[in-house]
Structure 1
Amino acid sequence: MRISLSIGLAAGLGLSIVSAFTMAQTDEFPSKDIQYVIPFGPGGESDISARLQQKYFEEITGEQLVIQYMPGGGGAVGWSQLAGMSADGHTIMGSNLPHIILKPMGQDVGFATEDLNNFFYFHYSPDAILVRNESPYQTLDDLIQAAKEMPGAVTFSGSGTYSANDVANTRFQQLADVTTTYIPFKGTGAAVTALLGGQVQAEWGYTTVAANHDDKVRMLAVASEERHPMFPDVPTFKELGYDMVGGAYRGMAVPDGTPVEIQQQLSDIFQQINQHSQFRQEMEDLGFVLMDVPVDEMDAFMSERMDVYEASARELGLID
C-alpha cells in the first residue's frame, strides 16, 4: 500500500512538474524571434503581407518576425522541408491554397497535405487576368478572340504548377473554349516581372498585382462574386458569362510536433494582427481580402476547401 501510494505521489509530482514546465514555456512564448519562412521568392503576395505583419507582431510580442525565403516548385520545396524544422513554435511557414492540396495529388512533391499543421488563414486574393497598359487586348473578348485565332500563341505567366493561377487558367480555357500557353514561375513576383518585361502577353495574377502596379498593368476581368471596390470598372468573369470565382488563400503552418498550446498562441497573435484597423487598411489598400480562420476552425475550413479542390483536380486530370 505504501509502495503504491509512493508511486502515485511520484507520478503525480512528475505530471505536475511536466505541466508546470509546459505552462512556463507557453507563458514565455515567444521567447525569441520567430523565423517566418516564405516558400516563394520575394515580391509576391505572401512576402508583401508578411512584411506588413512584422510591425504589429513586434508591438504585440516584443519579438521580431524574421522573414526568410525558400522558393522552388511553386512552394513545394519549402513545404517538403517543414517537417524537419524546429517544432518549438519559433519557426512558421507560409501556407497557400489550393497549392498544398493540389500539388500532392499531381505528383510526389515531398509532402502530403496533412503534413502541414495550419494554425491561421488570414487573407484571400481573387484571380484576375492582367495585361500591360500598352497591350492590344483592351477587353477579355479581345484576348479570347486572339486565343481562338492562334491556339497556344497567347502566353500567360503564373505562380507555379497546380497553383491557384494554374487552376484558373485550366478553368478559363474550358469555359472560353480556347488554348493558351501557361508558363509557371516561382511566385507572383517572378510572374509579374515576366509580364512587365514582355516575356508573356498576359498574367494570371490577383487584384493585389493590379493594386501594386496600377501604373503599368490593367485587369481585364476578376474572379470574384462582385466587382472589387478598388476596381469598380473591371468586370467579373461571371458578368462576362464565365462561371469563375476563385483565387489564392494564404495562411501559416508549423512543423509537426509543435505543442497545441503554442499553435493556439500563434493563432491568437496573428488574429489580433488581422483585426488591427491600421493593418486591415494597409492590406485592403493593396487589394487583399481579409478573412479569419483560427486554429480551432481550421479542420472545417480545410475539409471544405478539399471538396472544392478535388473538383478542380478532376478538371486538371490529377485524379479520376
Structure 2
Amino acid sequence: MKSLFRGALLGAGLSLAAVAGIAQEYPSKQVNYIIPFNAGGESDIAARLQQPVFERLTGQNMVIQYMAGAGGAQAWSQLNGMEADGYTVMGTNLPHIILQPMAQDVGYTTDDISNVYFFQYTPDALLVPADSQFQTLEDFVTYATENPGAVTVAGSATNSANHVATVRLNELAGINTTYIPFSGTAPTMTALLGNQVQAAFSYTTAAIQQGDAVRVLAVAADERVPSFPDVPTFGEAGYDMVGGAYRGVGVPSATPEEVRTQISDALDAVNKDPEFIQKMEDGGFVVIDVPYSEVPSFMDERRAEYENVAPLMGIESTN
C-alpha cells in the first residue's frame, strides 16, 4: 500500500523528500476525522468521498466521527484540547470560522484554528422553483429593483456563506432583498419548493439533489460548474461574486509543524486522485488545492473579504 501511496504522490508532483517523509512516518495508524456537523451534510459527503481514497493510498483506516452543535462552534472550541499527534483531524468551514467569532463569543477565535489544507468549496447558487417567473438572473435583479424588499431569499443560517452571498448580490446589483435564514440546506429547499420564499441562496450540491424541481439562475464560481454547463456565473452577468462554503481540515494547535505538512501532503494526494475529482465534480463540489504552505495567504484573502461584508450583515465589530 505504501508503494501505491508513493506512486500517487509522485504523480501529483510532490518531491521525493515529501514522499519519503509521509511513506515512512505518516500515517502509521488510524486517523480520526471529526466532522463538526450532523451526518448527511456537504462536509460529511465530502469526507465520505475522501475516506476510501485516503485508505487506499495510505493503507490506514480513516474513521469519520461527528461532533455537531452551534453551527460547528461546539467542535471547533474543543479542537485545541485534543490529541496533537496528527491522528485527530477536524473539518473546518469558511466563512463560519471567521464570521462566528466576529459576531459573538463562540469559545474560540479564528486564529485558534490551525488549518492544514483546504480541498473544496460548494459554490453559492441562486435557485428558484422551476415554475418561477424568474427565468434569468436579469429577471430576478430587475424585479428586485422595482420592488425593494419584496423578494424573499432563503438560506442556511445567519452569518453563513448563503447569507454572505445574499448581502453581496444586494450590494453589487443595488437591490434590496429580504434574507430568511433556515437551520440548514434541507429546510431551505423545503421552503423554496413550498413557495414560502421566492428564491434561495444555496449550493450547487443542493441544486443537483433537487434536479428539475429548481432552476439555477447563476453560480458563484470562476468558471461554469461542470454539473451545470448551461448556467452562467455571476461574473458573466457583471457581478464579481466567487464564493461559497470552503471546506478544509484543521488540527490541534500543538501539532508539530512537520506533522502538519505531512497531513497536508497526504490530503493533497487524495485531492489529486482522478476518481475522487470526478466524484466531487459530479456531486457539485469544486475541487481546490490549498496546501499548508499556502493556507495563511488563503485565510488572509478570505478574512479581508468577510470583514468587508460583515458590517452589511449587522456585524459591527470584530473579536
TM-score over 0.5 for the alignment?
A: yes
What is the aligned partner in structure 2 of residue 65 from structure 1?
62
Identity among equivalent pairs (%):
57
Give 1:172's aligned residue: 169
Aligned to 2:6: none
The equivalent of 1:85 in structure 2 is 82
Return the offset for 1:108.
Answer: 1.2
- CA change 1:302–1:243 in 2 (3 A) is closer
Q: Which residue of 1 aligns with 2:285?
A: 288
Match runs of 1:216-255 below 5 Å: 216-255=213-252
| Distance in 1 between residues matched to 2:59 and 2:190, nearest whole Å | 36
Report if aligned partners of 1:157, 1:204 keep a CA contact under 8 Å in 2: yes
Of 180, 192, 197, the residue aligned with 1:195 is 192
CA 1:133–1:70 in 2, change beyond 3 Å: closer, same or farther? farther
User: Is the CA contact 2:153–2:179 (under 8 Å) kept in the aligned structure 1?
Assistant: yes
Q: Distance in 2 between matches of 1:128 and 1:40?
A: 21
Taking a change above 3 Å as real, the CA distance of residues 204 and 41 of structure 1, as seen in their structure-2 partners, is farther
Contact 1:40 1:186 in 2 (8 A): no
Deviations 1:34-59 (A, max 9, x none): 22222223333212111111111111
**Superposed CA offset, 1:257-314 (max 9, x none):** 1222322221111111001111111112222221111112222222222222222224
Say whether the 8 Å CA contact 2:26–2:263 is kept in structure 1. Answer: no
1:77–1:281: structure 2 CA closer, same or farther, 3 Å change rule?
A: same
The aligned counterpart of 1:210 is 207
Structure 2 partner of 1:276: 273
Distance 1:312 1:228, change over 3 A: same
**Partners in 1 of 2:35 and 2:185 — Cα distance?**
12
Instruction: Name the residue aligned to 2:13.
Output: none
Judge conservation of contact 2:226–2:281 (CA < 8 Å) in 1.
Answer: no
Contact 1:40 1:69 (C-alpha < 8 Å) held by counterparts: yes
In structure 2, relative to structure 1, the CA distance for the partners of 1:146 and 1:310 (3 Å cut) is same
Q: Corresponding residue for 2:52?
A: 55
The structure with more radius of gyration: 1
Q: In the alignment, which of 94, 107, 110 is matched to residue 107 of structure 2? A: 110
The partner residue of 1:260 within 257, 262, 265 is: 257
Give the TM-score of the pair, scaled to structure 2: 0.82
5+ residue gaps in structure 1?
A: 1-23
- CA offsets 1:192-218 (integer angstroms, 9 cap, x no match): 454345554422112222233323322
Q: For structure 1, which segment, 41-50 or 118-127, has the greater mean C-alpha deviation from structure 2 after superposition?
A: 41-50
Structure 1: distance between partners of 2:170 and 2:102: 21
1:92 to 1:184, Cα distance in 2 relative to 1, 3 A: farther
SS at match of 1:214: helix
Report the secondary structure of 1:299's partner residue.
Answer: helix
Deviation at 1:157, TM superposition (A): 2.9
Query: Is residue 119–residue 264 contact of structure 1 (8 Å, CA) maintained in 2?
Result: yes
Mapped partners of 2:185, 2:66: distance in 1: 14
The Cα of 1:29 is off from its aligned counterpart by: 4.0
- Counterpart of 1:248 in structure 2: which amino acid? A
Contact 2:100 2:106 in 1 (8 A): yes
Task: Write the distance in 2 (CA, Å) between the matches of 1:173 and 1:115.
Answer: 32
Q: How many residues align?
A: 297
Go from structure 1 to structure 2 and tell me whether the alpha carbon gap of 1:121 and 1:150 turns closer, same or farther (over 3 Å shift): same
* Equivalent pair of 2:118/2:291 in contact (CA under 8 Å): yes
Alpha-carbon distance between aligned partners in 2 of 1:71 and 1:180, rounded to the nearest angstrom: 31
**Could you tell which deviates more after superposition, 69-78 or 108-117?**
69-78
Supply the RMSD in Å over aligned alpha carbons: 2.7
Distance in 2 separating the partners of 1:197 and 1:38: 30
**Matches of 2:45 and 2:191 in 1, distance apart?**
18
Calculate the TM-score normalised by the size of structure 1.
Answer: 0.81
- The runs of 5 or more residues in structure 2 that have no matched partner are 1-20
CA contact (8 A) 1:41 1:186 kept: no
